[in-house]
Amino acid sequence: MKMEKLHIKMRILKIKKMKTLFIDMDGVIVDFMQSVKNHPEYEKYKNEIDALPDVFLNALPMEFAIDSVGKLLDCGKYEVYIASTAPWGNIDSLSHKRIWIERYFGERLKKRLILTHRKDFLMGDYLIDDRLKNGAGEFKGEFIHFGTDKFPDWNSVLEYLL
């Protein structure tokens, strides 16, 4: 039964000709650096910020990120996934990222979170990321380099994709 549903979904996607879009979390939809700077234990962990307890769980979204991702979900052009890297030294970060996605996007993206250190293994049309690390720079589709002159903010990304 599950395979049948998967095949039906794949046929629907082909008919709609939806593109696959991956969106990074930290620095793209999550204001990670602000969360780090405001963290009560920042001084203790300033040389190993990825190890800050609950840093991902309590992070705020980037400006316009939630509405912008919502527009991409609603436009009917993209199959949207979140593709993020979680630091190995902060085991709670994996579940905290998942909780963060559910908090801000509910059921819409809860089961669309991919945690990977090899974004070049992702198969899709677009990747929005603020860094070239973890395979993002070798992504086989089109790389949208968030925070650069071409794509400085969510308005520029939406203008390009919509």
Which residues are tagged catalytic? 24, 26
How far CA 118 is from CA of 91, 122, 132, in Å, comes to 18, 8, 11
Q: Say how far apart CA 49 and CA 37 lie, in whole Å.
A: 10
Quote the distance between the C-alpha of residue 47 and its chain's center: 25
For residue 153, give every residue at least 6 positions away whose Cβ sits within 8 Å of its Cβ, in sequence order, or none: 63, 64
In contact, 137 and 33? CB cutoff 8 Å = no
Question: Per this entry, what is the length of the chain?
Answer: 162
Task: Determine the angle formed by the axes of helices 65-74 and 92-105, rounding to 10 degrees.
Answer: 70
**Using only C-alpha atoms, what is the Rg of the chain?**
16
